[in-house]
Amino acid sequence: MESGSPVHIADLAAHEAYLRRDPLVVALVELADVRTCLFVPLLKDDELIGALGINREQVQPITDRQINLVTDFAAQTTIALESTRRERQYREAQMALAHANRIATIGQLTASIAHELKQPLAAVVIDGGGALRWLARQPPDLDEARSSVERIIKHADRATHIIGGLRDLTKQNAPRAEVVDFNEAIVEVIALTYSEAVKTGVTVSTRLAPQLPRVQGDRVQPQQVMLNLIVNAIQAMSGSGGGARELQISIDAVPSEGGVRVGVRDTGPGLSPESLSRLFEPFYTTKPEGMGMGLSICRSIIEAHGGRLWAIPCEPQGALFQFTIPATRADGS
Ligand code: ADP
């Protein structure tokens, strides 16, 4: 086999390996009822990567024509295996790249996320002190103390929400197939980016959809797209002049396309014809520290979900990025 040629054994029970009771060959003959067999090597660049085996339970030698047929089939099998392996490697590389891009995007937000977390924590301390004072009164004011504790729980929930979103986005998990609540997913991303928007003087308005079709897929990947679009919008506005800085985030059900549409609109400098035609190209960036990978990764994520991502220049200024994701059909596909 290692020489790269097919191995044809007309009768395994007459083979010297069987006669000297090689345990594997004995098992093949006596347990698996193999008599005539053919093994054709699967070769990739002269390297043996596997073999294709054909057995007969009776002694019935395989003709040269049949051996040629199986050899041709083995060559096709090698090509198919190789392309499956390449495709898997490509998918793995794409996932690793998407993960690296998420980490890089979140890295740009670290200072504002820390700030965003400090607020509920400081509020916990204030309300905790308040609760103690209400309890130390003579007689203790239990109603006020209870309100303080209820506020503490709300602040802690807010911090948990931020940390939860951060943990999901930074982990490198294999994509999951779950029912995604798009309203909830975007609220999490807005929580992570809110302080960055405030720091840049951007007002954020959000319009969620009361009723959305069922979308099944990975939750983190569309969140990564939302995160990229929102960070890009904030960065675009941070460089623009004194005009209003407004970020509008919307989610709609699109019955005509049977899915969900997310829009991120800013009032930044907008898109020049050159940038409009190159936005989604890998490594296209106009930022001094930019990598130019964000939008190209976003597009592959959305297309992998069967959706579309596009950009439109807005009047009098700014840009609108939108993506759609189809709903899950009743058969779950
Ligand atoms: P990066 O953010 O690293 O530059 P992206 O792929 O996310 O990479 O973006 C590519 C380029 O697209 C940006 O450098 C910028 O020129 C342009 N761009 C992206 N979003 C906007 C936006 N909201 N307004 C104007 N230009 C944008």
Quick one: which of 33, 81, 41 has its CA closest to 58? 33
Do residues 128 and 243 both lie within one domain? no
Containing 157, the helix (H) or strand (E) segment is helix 142-170
- End-to-end alpha-carbon separation of the chain, Å? 43
Q: How confident is the model at residue 173 (pLDDT cuts 50, 70, 90)?
A: confident
What percentage of the chain exceeds 70 in pLDDT? Answer: 98
Tell me if 264 sits within 8 A of 323, measured CB to CB: no
The last residue of a domain, from among 153, 172, 191? 172
Sign of CA pseudo-dihedral 325, 331, 332, 333? negative
Ligand 1 centre and the CA of 75: distance in Å?
46
| CA atoms within a 13 Å half-sphere pointing along the CA-CB vector of 237 | 28
Tell me if 177 sits within 8 A of 216, measured CB to CB: yes
pLDDT in tens, 272-317: 999 999 999 999 999 988 889 999 999 999 998 899 999 999 988 9
Residue 312's Cβ-count burial label (10 Å; 0-12, 13-18, 19+) is middle
Do residues 12 and 155 both lie within one domain? no
Tell me if 311 sits within 8 A of 303, measured CB to CB: no
Residue 2 belongs to a domain? no
User: What ranges in 32-109 are assigned the alpha helix state H?
Assistant: 64-108
Listed range (59-63, 139-143, 211-215) with the worst mean pLDDT: 211-215
Alpha carbon 73 to its chain's center: 36
Residue 56 belongs to a domain? yes
Query: Tokens for 230?
Result: 């929102």
Do residues 231 and 329 both lie within one domain? yes
Q: How confident is the model at residue 145 (pLDDT cuts 50, 70, 90)?
A: very high
Which pLDDT score, from 0 to 100, does residue 44 have? 85
Say which CATH number the domain at 16 has. Answer: 3.30.450.40
- Closest Cα to atom 9 of ligand 1: 292
Whole-prediction pTM: 0.75
Ligand 1 proximity of 266 Cβ (cutoff 6 Å): yes
- Closest Cα to atom 14 of ligand 1: 285
Do residues 147 and 245 both lie within one domain? no
Say which CATH number the domain at 226 has. Answer: 3.30.565.10
Q: Tell me what the pLDDT averaged over the chain comes to.
A: 91
With 80 as the cut, is the pLDDT of residue 2 above it?
no
Do residues 264 and 196 both lie within one domain? yes
Average pLDDT over residues 174-184: 87
Residue 63 belongs to a domain? yes
With 90 as the cut, is the pLDDT of residue 320 above it?
yes
Do residues 252 and 311 both lie within one domain? yes
Ligand 1 proximity of 309 Cβ (cutoff 6 Å): no
Q: What is the C-alpha to C-alpha distance for residues 234 and 317, in angstroms, rounded to an integer? A: 14
Beta bridge partners of 37: 9, 55
With 80 as the cut, is the pLDDT of residue 258 above it?
no
Average pLDDT over residues 46-52: 87
- Closest Cα to atom 21 of ligand 1: 232
Q: Which residue range is the domain that position 131 belongs to?
A: 109-172
Tell me if 44 sits within 8 A of 75, measured CB to CB: no
Q: What is the C-alpha to C-alpha distance for residues 238 and 241, in angstroms, rounded to an integer? A: 8
Tell me if 225 sits within 8 A of 301, measured CB to CB: yes
**Bigger pLDDT: 308 or 211?**
308
| Distant-in-sequence, close-in-space partners of 77: CB < 8 Å, separation ≥ 6 | 42, 52
The last residue of a domain, from among 52, 85, 118? 85
Ligand 1 proximity of 290 Cβ (cutoff 6 Å): yes
Which pLDDT score, from 0 to 100, does residue 329 have? 56
Residue 21 belongs to a domain? yes
Ligand 1 proximity of 251 Cβ (cutoff 6 Å): no
Say which CATH number the domain at 163 has. Answer: 1.10.287
Residue 247 belongs to a domain? yes
Per the structure, the count of domains in the chain is 3
Residue 243 belongs to a domain? yes
Do residues 180 and 251 both lie within one domain? yes
Query: Tokens for 4?
Result: 């790269």
**Bigger pLDDT: 21 or 330?**
21
Do residues 11 and 56 both lie within one domain? yes
With 80 as the cut, is the pLDDT of residue 240 above it?
no
Residue 90 belongs to a domain? no
Q: What is the C-alpha to C-alpha distance for residues 156 and 159, in angstroms, rounded to an integer? A: 5
Tell me if 262 sits within 8 A of 254, measured CB to CB: no
